[in-house]
Structure 1
Amino acid sequence: MENVYDFKVSAPNGELIPLRDYEGKPMLIVNTASKCGLTPQFKGLQELHERYQEQGLAVLGFPCDQFNNQEFENINETTEFCQLNYGVSFPIFAKIDVNGEQADPLFVYLKDQKKGVLSKNIKWNFTKFLVDQQGNVIERYAPTTEPSAIAKDIEKIL
């Protein structure tokens, strides 16, 4: 795989979506959770989406239940929760694993491109990866990094 555009991801209905559909657009790819102390970051992610979508930014959410079972069992509950509580209008994909044997290939790739401080494993919900218009992973942000703190990096690549 050369870049993120070579991957396909699953929509909540199971349809495979090629990330090539986002070619030429910067992306902020985030592993999310609906029942986590960091869940209010959905508000900041939605604000980034609204602020920069016309300039091409695509915010992509990937629910993950690997960290203390903080995601709904049913993906429809997840998407409804995000929309009702945070007004999320950016794409939320099917629930995935981000670590271990069953880790989604996209997240294996993202982690290989930008390792964390101590290892490449994702430590918690709301780890964020910023990808430029050529599909290169340019930055990885810790779960506690507020979405608003990423705005300046997004502006650099727009």
Structure 2
Amino acid sequence: MNIHDLLFVLKDEGVTVSVTPLDKLKVTGPDEAVKRWVSTIKEAKQQIIDNYKRAPKLTPSPNPFLSDTEWHSLHFPAWGEPEVQAFQQRHTRMIKLGLTDGLADIHAERMAYRDRMNDDRRLCFECQFMTREGCSQRVPESDVFQRCTLFIESDA
């Protein structure tokens, strides 16, 4: 199986492989699928890294919160269905909270990148205490990823 076929098979199984700036692989996805593919991924590590380095980097990041490298890592390989659904749900919630379509896109992309990097911090937009008027528990810092002790995941 060539490297491109491997990445597509992994994507179909919900497994995401990304390369950090220090050329380490980050593998996320369903535990069973990750366990099933981990040895193959380890064997193909250098090919995966080389593939990412060869990928075109012509498009600068349109997201002011993501560097060109981060933005590229977010969109290559392409999103799987769970990532698309999460993006759409987050985008819809932020629109309901009063953000413009453009800002909702930017922050939903940031959350997708955060998920790919296994970062456990959250934006206030994801909390059930966040309303159009702000946070009912404290002064929010809605653009900042943080670990808020009052955070409760929103159902919407």
- TM-score, normalised on structure 2? 0.27
**Which one has a bigger Cα radius of gyration?**
2
Question: Greater share of helix residues, 1 or 2?
Answer: 2
Quick check: which one's strand share is greater? Answer: 1
Answer 1 or 2: higher relative contact order, Cα 8 Å, separation at least 6.
Answer: 1
